[in-house]
Structure 1
């Protein structure tokens, strides 16, 4: 079977239902297949859409194969390399956030004495504790690196001006304005970064904004790419996208087929119903005006009559994205050339429950008029608000409401998503409420929690996080018990799960209350507490009881005599654990350079952990890879300063929390997740928790 060539172009599909957009895209792929063994590339902005899309593909085709799902930023960076060559586009730029943080850590002390850097000096001067100034410098460097990383995507024009010693800002209409006095440090710092790269012979390592400009110039000049580009890419479910990314995709449309499936709540042009309308009047409009009426001429006070206020209040980011799309949209020309009958996919129904009436008003750009509203049924629960006096009560109300809805048989747990502003604070309450019934109980509701940080889910990382706070830990008996609940740590010390009740009974009976030893208590600033009720004190009582019996005492030590028989072998692992904790309490209290921190971290992992399953093996490999990458970033930035434990711990573990598409989202039960704007997975029932003033929207 011969496959026709995929015609290049930039095609945009609009629709108010994500399911219809997916059906349209799949039908297009079926009618315009790629060559054998060539993979389809889908770009998504969240792991929820990624997983839902893969399930949808599998349901339609029987299998989801020869499909690659990626983040837009990662795909575009690869495309820059395909067009310009890997000699210009490196896999990791020195102006990326992570390496840039450590370059700033090295440069900031040299620049702070300058007058323009007074705001930064004020921030760094607020720390009073030892090592606090260095920790605050790292926090500030990370924030500035994140800021400059966003500038490279959203405000490349500012960086270009600053590199040319023009300390000003360009507005959206191109007009320049002077920088405020307290922000003059930003262009000075950016110039210092560029100068540092040139002095260290890294000038050829370009930032994202410069690479983007060279990429556009190469495509517009018709230069052939250094490596062949894929035939087609589909951006699915994107509610917003930076202008830089959209411009790059439009440029790629000259040589490959680019399809955008965009969720749009309104079938008409609605950019004129929000503030700043005078800047948004466009000559090119993809969607028609409703009744040929230009809403930009309507007074803002009267706009509620012309459209639903929710669209104006919530649609600013989507409005800007749709306006950008109109500048690049070639769909009308492609429809004539490729004989495409219909592009936009909007529902046609009217009335119904309250929620559907709101959706129809937004879709049809209608105001709230009594004559257009349908009377509600007494049992209409499509939009429900509950007031609760605490977060726990919110979760309990949710649990009761879900049981009531599931009792009808029309809804399943997998049909429900629950979004909260901060999932970490709600996770314990969710577990306490939804785990109150046994899995065999009819009232049990299956659920899963996503978007938690890796440290909140993995027992190995929780144990590692505790160990990396060891110099400041009181080492309570309960903390030691929690530490022994980590399977990888138990395996390292040859302890089994059934040994834990015995060990915990010994620790409680022998009197380990807090502290490893008198020396460790003294390091915490409590030298007069002595060894009483410490770990060393308890272990001496256990060993004396095993050696001499219950009624013996020696050197002011009273024996604990319940240790005997084969169980006495557990004293060895306990003794080894105590010695290693004391050793690392001393090691981690020192400040080390990055190379020595790497050696210490690897030794710490070896001393305390041994993989108990495949998940632990993967996690230990990830920890090693992240550690290697951190050391490479420090080396690339020529940073070799001694760092306290707090800075190393934060830098190492935070790299594990980087977003990716590999984490599971759809688990078959009720999904609890963070409230994010890109999470457009179509669920029949959407619930919100924690919608308190000050919690959402966050500042």
Structure 2
């Protein structure tokens, strides 16, 4: 058959295996080619089907392909059918886009609805749209009504025709007419109003009034029926049309395909799960119009099948899930007569093919047997007799996995796939599809599990995630979303820093990725928190203020930065602005881009805040896009082009709808962003990797392994609450779409598409209390069917029920809550049901007694000597020092909430820092010889207010008073201490000490200053501590530790020195030490530092001091001499007592290294370290008449 002799007509091929129909299509086109350069047109419903067909054509001829996939055009049915209307009726008669298209109708309704509300019959809409100042209700109603009318045009065109003729009726599937309910009469009136409005814009010819889908379809059908042989064929129609992978079409679309068969060869491949007639096993079979069926009844089935005998002749799963497919096949039967098949069957016979491709293969596995039952319409009674018992050791074709969370589902899947690849070298990642109800829910878990491993890891496998909304993964769209929310946004530090993480934004403003941390530090240092300026804050409901009284805003912070760079800190405040002087040198060039970014945000905020017409909005949004984004790569350029295209399409739709009213930003931004999520065939699929996708209709592509995750009760089948005014829900017709029916048929298609294995998992256990949770009702039906139809091999004869239950238990794997459960690491893994390839979880955990010495690192490489402050910080928290200094790991997380809010209150650390600044200001005043220190303190407090360190208004005044309150008494005590050593020494004293450790030299090298001389040459150091030294009548040992280390070092550097530490609450005094004692202590501390750089030392300072307090004075250092009450006190200090958190609870480093007190104190290291390093600190402070009253009763060190 040559290309010029291509016969026309509608040809239908049925089959239960899509790959067989695909091979037929490839062979048919290969042997019946079109003319050169003529395109083959395919109608598909998903990108997966399109890619699958292209791969088949591109396969080598030896593999059944054509060797090339060229001139193949894939289209969605709705798009092609509108093109067919235009090809037959003429482009002048039918516009490229109908004014009744949903995307166009929304904006016409936006204009018309407010004007119609006062007319009779619109009372329901008027009630809904009350109090709609921002037009949001109107927009939402317009969207829903447009969607509903779009559905009516496809599925209820007879209603619209009656309404247009002023007949307010509903027509049911049996063609009976009933009056339209009173509360719904507004729908008929609105349709007539829409027709009249469109008609008013009509041009010559057929007129826009007639370009609704229903009217155009009617005109098309009339033209097709009037066509006679010899009439000119529409040139723009393809000569061949292949419909593949579509499991449902509305009647209107099938009518068009049948009509096109007059001019074109229309080849439809129908995925039919059953080779026999099965329409009467599903509800509402009496509504089908077909008087004949292509498939014949199964042998032994009665001509009339009533509900009472359904179980004797029906396959239960097909009856439960097949309604959508039944409707579609029944609709096709109306156009597939015996006479028609006789005309095209010989063409297929000539190339060795058939039009009914129902092939039964040897059903060796449980999955194949189940599929064979559906193909053969085998009832349950026959199933029990037909199949042998299942040996689950050899048959792994179906498995159910019960998990505790979505994360565990993905981890389990990863392990199972690794096992499958290891067991079958022919299995490739592209042979696996994983489908979930909502890919956005699972995408983070997929990335966390499959994206965790490096490509060099043998456990790594390629994967791709399809069907994600662009705004969920495209940072440019996320940034645009933030910008479009500016009028309602606080414009926090997090918001702007998130913008700077977007490459297209950085490119626009000339900022490199490595510059962002520096900008973050400047922003934090300038005390920027939120708000562009005072006016922007006022727009959010805050009291109006002048620009200079908006501390912590972006304008406030930028003024500080610019003044600090221009004048420096010493210049002092200027017009109430406190300079931020940390910016200088070449780094200052970054201030320009930051300022331009904030100025652009300010301009965008001002322009986006006011409603505007469509034309103005298009100008604004294009300017916004240009101001903030510059494409740095092809993906960004493509996204920006799509944004431009979406704006142009929206403008055209609004122009056509004559929408001239001003619109608010909320409506405009929602429409613009939603336009990027439009359906199409551009999503990536079949990327040569494990494919993750959303469960979507018409994806019945065969895969060797089909995995269904998230099959939870309530999540699948998915439900959508119908609109109250949706009249279709009261009147079912075959072919109507339903989300739940779609999902049922999709589950059936997924079951039929699996060739080797079906993996089903759900969250079947609560993550909090392990209580069971049911699976999806569809999974429950599948499990019940397997239990009723098969039995486990080896089960006692005659015990059918028990055999089915035992089989279900064998097919179901109950997984543990955590991936590191010991159950996943059995002694004989080859025979285990539970296993994992994440061997990191199985690393043997050292016993608590050995944990202090486990996995020590090599000796640290340090070229520079240690300083006194480093040793002090180490002793204060050795475990934190190990993680931070050796491992470079920080567990403290930045508090995003605090960086986005002004400081209404200060915590203990902030108070310590601020009071430290006040102390330094007053010390400087003392050095200048000022007797009254209050002015210096007040001046520094005023700088804090100007710098944004304190809250504005009353909050800041209260905080300032609290910070100043202890200062007079603190400095009075400080002066008393200074009087003991009245003469400050200018000389600095060097301390240098070398420790030899395993042949290495570890040095301490530092300088001591601030020493003072007293009578008879006595030396002393007086230190002001901003915090408190005494709590609960005890010295706080953790506060004393750094001062103790410096005190010991002073004994070696300068001789006998007394140290006095003065704090808000408490004064501590360290007496001089013998130089030999001080030397031995520092050598021991250097050795501990070296050990602590190799492993986390089992020493928690607060816990150790609680332990030391309970030791007798006669303690000899032996573990056996420690009284029980000391251990109990230490345990309470470390783990807490239920009311008060312990040291472990407030220190993430301790939690990581020592989970409980047993792990901390199991080894003798705790006793040795606490005794050697902290016992001297515990007994060092002297209580004297010079100490404050609060410390006079201290007696002990906490």
Fold equivalence (TM over 0.5): yes
Is 1:430 the equivalent of 2:442? no
Give runs of aligned pairs for residues 485-500 of structure 1, distance below 5 A.
Answer: 485-500=501-516
How far is 1:4 from its partner? 4.5
Aligned counterpart, 1:273: 281
Report the counterpart of residue 419 of structure 1 in structure 2.
Answer: 435
1:464, distance to aligned residue in structure 2 (A): 0.8
Question: How much has 1:226 moved relative to structure 2?
Answer: 4.6
CA distance in 2, matches of 1:123, 1:357: 55
Q: What does residue 694 of structure 1 align with?
A: 714
Q: Displacement, 1:350? A: 4.0
| Correspondence for 1:663 | 683
Aligned position for 2:161: 160
- For residues 430 and 527 of structure 2, the distance between their equivalents in structure 1, rounded to whole angstroms, comes to 48
Q: Deviations over 1:617-655 (max 9, x none)?
A: 222222112111111111111111111100011122211
Q: How does 1:428-507 map to 2 (within 5 A)?
A: 428-507=444-523
522-531 vs 108-117, greater mean Cα deviation: 522-531
* 1:198 equivalenced with 2:199 (yes/no): yes
Q: Are the structure 2 counterparts of residues 336 and 21 from structure 1 closer, same or farther at C-alpha, using a change threshold of 3 Å?
A: closer
**490-499 vs 513-522, which moves further:** 513-522
Greater Cα offset, 666-675 or 645-654 = 666-675
- Residue 287 to residue 620, structure 1, CA distance change in 2 (3 Å): same
In structure 2, the partner of 1:358 is 370
Structure 1 residue matching 2:293: 3-state secondary structure: coil
Q: 1:407 aligns with which of 422, 444, 453?
A: 422
Is the counterpart of residue 235 in structure 1 residue 251 in structure 2? no
- Distance across 1 between alignment mates of 2:470 and 2:22: 31
- Structure 1 residues 395 and 228, CA gap change in structure 2 (3 angstroms): closer
Q: Which residue matches 2:661?
A: 641
Name stretches of at least 5 consecutive residues in structure 2 with no aligned partner. Answer: 60-64, 720-1198
Given that residues 48 and 665 in structure 1 are in contact (C-alpha distance below 8 angstroms), is that contact kept between their aligned partners in structure 2?
yes
| Alpha-carbon offset, residue 27 of structure 1 | 0.8
* Separation of aligned partners in 1, 2:710 and 2:117: 41
Partner of 2:392: 378
Residue 520 (structure 1) shift: 1.8
Alignment-derived partner of residue 642 in structure 2: 622
Deviations 1:397-454 (A, max 9, x none): 3233323323324433222212122222222222223222223222223222111112
CA distance in 2, matches of 1:282, 1:292: 22
Report the Cα offset of residue 455 of structure 1.
Answer: 1.4
Partner of residue 561, structure 1: 581
SS in 2 for 1:42: strand
Provide Cα deviations, 1:464-488, integer angstroms capped at 9, x if missing partner.
Answer: 1110011111222222121112111
Worse-superposed segment, 397-406 or 188-197: 397-406
- Displacement of 1:51 after TM fit? 1.4
Preserved contact between residue 519 and residue 527 of structure 1 (Cα < 8 Å)? no
Q: Describe how 1:231-270 pairs up with structure 2 within 5 A.
A: 231-270=239-278
Is 1:186 aligned to 2:187, yes or no? yes
| Aligned partners of 1:57 and 1:64 also within 8 Å | yes
Matched, 1:347 2:375: no
Secondary structure at 1:684's aligned position in 2? Answer: strand
Q: Name whichever of 224-233 and 147-156 sits farther off.
A: 224-233
CA distance in structure 1 between the partners assigned to 2:260 and 2:321 by the alignment: 31
CA contact (8 A) 1:307 1:362 kept: no
CA-atom RMSD in angstroms:
2.1
Deviation at 1:373, TM superposition (A): 2.7
Contact 2:439 2:467 in 1 (8 A): yes
Asked if residue 543 in structure 1 is aligned to residue 543 in structure 2, the reply is: no
Partner secondary structure for residue 611 of structure 1: coil
Of residues 408, 417, 421, the one that matches 1:393 is 408
| Corresponding pairs, count | 694
The answer to whether residue 349 in structure 2 is matched with residue 333 in structure 1 is no
Residues in 1 aligned to 2:580 and 2:422: alpha-carbon distance in whole angstroms? 56
The answer to whether the Cα contact below 8 Å between 1:351 and 1:374 also exists between their aligned partners in 2 is no
Distance 2:213 2:239 in 1: 24
The answer as to whether partners of 1:11 and 1:334 remain within 8 angstroms in 2 is no
Once structures 1 and 2 are overlaid, which stretch shifts more, 612-621 or 101-110?
Answer: 612-621
Distance 1:309 1:122 in 2: 47
Write the deviation string for residues 221-266 of structure 1: whole angstroms up to 9, x where unpaired.
Answer: 1153453532111001111111111111111111210000111111
CA distance in 1 between counterparts of 2:525 and 2:398 reads: 56
When structure 1 is superposed on structure 2, of 336-345 and 427-436 the one drifting more is: 336-345
Distance 1:12 1:2, change over 3 A: closer
Q: What's the CA shift for 1:68?
A: 0.8
Change (3 A) 1:646 1:63: same
Which residue is 2:20 aligned to? 20
- The CA distance in 1 between the partners of 2:89 and 2:97, in whole Å, is 15
Deviation at 1:161, TM superposition (A): 0.7
Task: Give the secondary-structure state (helix, strand or coil) at the position aligned to 1:515.
Answer: coil
1:115 and 1:63 map into 2 onto residues whose CA distance is: 63
Greater CA drift, 23-32 or 503-512: 503-512
Distance 1:181 1:399, change over 3 A: farther
1:47–1:665 Cα contact (<8 Å) kept: yes
SS of residue matched to 2:528: coil
Distance 1:147 1:448 in 2: 35
1:182 Cα deviation from its structure 2 partner: 2.4
SS class of match (1:386): strand
Kindly indicate whether structure 1 or structure 2 has the higher relative contact order, using CA contacts under 8 Å at least 6 residues apart.
1
Between 1:228-237 and 1:15-24, the stretch displaced more is: 228-237
Q: Cα gap change, 1:148/1:552 in structure 2, threshold over 3 Å: closer, same or farther?
A: same
| Shift in CA distance, 508/62, structure 1 to aligned 2, threshold 3 Å | farther
* 1:8-87 matched pairs, under 5 angstroms: 8-59=8-59, 60-87=65-92
Aligned to 2:1173: none
Quote the Cα distance in structure 2 between the aligned partners of 1:356 and 1:89: 50
**Any residues of structure 2 matched to 1:546-625 within 5 Å, and which?**
546-549=565-568, 553-555=572-574, 556-625=576-645
Change (3 A) 1:606 1:336: closer
Q: 1:168 to 1:345 in 2, by over 3 A?
A: same
**Aligned-pair CA distance for 1:3:** 3.9
Compare 134-143 and 543-552 and name the one that shifted more. 543-552
The answer to whether the Cα contact below 8 Å between 2:615 and 2:651 also exists between their aligned partners in 1 is: yes
Please list every run of 5 or more consecutive structure 1 residues that lacks an aligned counterpart in the other structure: none
Tell me how far apart the structure 2 counterparts of residues 509 and 347 of structure 1 sit (CA, whole Å). Answer: 74
* Higher radius of gyration, 1 or 2: 2
